Structure 1
Amino acid sequence: MKEFLLNNQTELISSSIVLFVLVLLRFILGITIRRIGRFSDLKDIRTRLVLKYISIGLMALGAAGLIFIWGVNIREIGLIFSSIFAVIGVALFAQWSILSNVTAGIILFFSFPFKIGDRITIMDKEMEEQGPFLIEDIRAYHIHLRKGNGELMTYPNNMLLQKAVSIARETADLKTVPDET
């Protein structure tokens, strides 16, 4: 054991630094994302979901860093990863919409153009009813919209970013604009 510690001292120190930086980044990003969530009145579930995505990304970066530090043979790792990514790629090609919806959910979290409780109108020709809808929940893959007749509708997050959406405000909230006539 003593020989292992002496022979791999630089790798152990570098690995410790990488792990410390990752934990520090996770802590700082966690605080920042929670503040954004509180500042924009977002549900705690959405904040935790984005934190989960960030944690997974940081773990992937950490694994890549440790592989680089320990000098693992890239050709062997490349063969393993290319095989894994080929299988995953085929599976994800069939499920590409899941990834686009998750990505759109993250974008909606950080841009927060609308939030739960807002009434929105979606300009989509293919929808039988365009709104206004009440936003009840924003999930990782879709948004829950309540129709005027009380019916609950789910709408994919990626479609929400692709279509024009207007937020319906109460007339009392609108500032009066003088007529230019």
Structure 2
Amino acid sequence: MQEFLLSYKHEMIATAITFGVLLILKFITDKTIRKIGRISDIVEARTLLITKYASILLTLLGFGVISFIWGVNFRDVGLVFSSVFAVIGVALFASWSILSNITAGVILFFSFPFKIGDRIKILDKDIESEEPFLIEDIRAFHVSLRKSNGELLVYPNNLMMQKAITLIYTYEETPDGSEET
């Protein structure tokens, strides 16, 4: 055991430093995302979802760095990953809209000018309604929009980024422009 510790001392120190840096980055990332969510008045569930995405990305980055530290033969690992990614690539190509909706959901978190409770009108020729929609919920894949008659429209996030949207009034205002209490 002593021989193992002496021969891999540098790798173990580098691994410990990597874990420390990753924990600090995760802490800073979580705080930043929560602060952006609080400043932008974004629902806590959306903030937690984006925090989870960032955590997964940092974990994958950590695995890559630790593999590099321990000198993993990338040719062997590359063969395994290329096989796995070929299968995943086919699956993602078959359902590319899911990936684009998740990406759009992350982008909408940071730059979406509308919030839950706002009334909007989507300028889309496929939507026959002239009536504004109430934003009920914003999720990873879609936005839930409700008409005043109770009809629910589940609209994909990638289309929210592609179509023109008009803000009728915010959740803080009523249709006549007065402040809501």
Normalised TM-score (structure 1): 0.92
Cα deviation for residue 166 of structure 1 reads 1.2
Cα deviation for residue 172 of structure 1 reads 2.7
Cα deviation for residue 36 of structure 1 reads 1.1
Partner residue of 1:160?
Answer: 160
Cα deviation for residue 61 of structure 1 reads 0.3
Partner residue of 2:67?
Answer: 67
Please list the CA deviations of residues 21-67 of structure 1 after superposition, one character each: whole Å capped at 9, or x if unmatched: 11101001101111111111111110110011001100110001011
Query: 1:40 & 1:130 partners in 2: Cα distance?
Result: 28
Cα deviation for residue 127 of structure 1 reads 1.2
Query: 2:126 & 2:112 partners in 1: Cα distance?
Result: 25
Does structure 1 residue 172 correspond to structure 2 residue 177? yes
User: For the Cα contact (< 8 Å) 1:122–1:131, is it kept in 2?
Assistant: no
Cα deviation for residue 142 of structure 1 reads 0.2
Partner residue of 2:120?
Answer: 120
Partner residue of 1:102?
Answer: 102
Q: Structure 1 segments of 4 or more deviating over 2 A?
A: 169-173
Query: 2:20 & 2:112 partners in 1: Cα distance?
Result: 31
Q: How many residues align?
A: 173
**SS in structure 1 of the partner of residue 126 of structure 2:** coil
Normalised TM-score (structure 2): 0.92
User: For the Cα contact (< 8 Å) 1:144–1:154, is it kept in 2?
Assistant: yes
Read off the aligned partner of 2:81 and give its amino acid letter. Answer: F
Unaligned runs of 5+ in 1: 174-181
Cα deviation for residue 171 of structure 1 reads 5.0
Identify if the C-alpha distance between structure 1 residues 151 and 126 changes in structure 2 by more than 3 Å, giving closer, same or farther: same
Identity %: 60
Instruction: Calculate the aligned-residue CA RMSD, in Å.
Output: 1.1
User: For the Cα contact (< 8 Å) 1:124–1:130, is it kept in 2?
Assistant: no
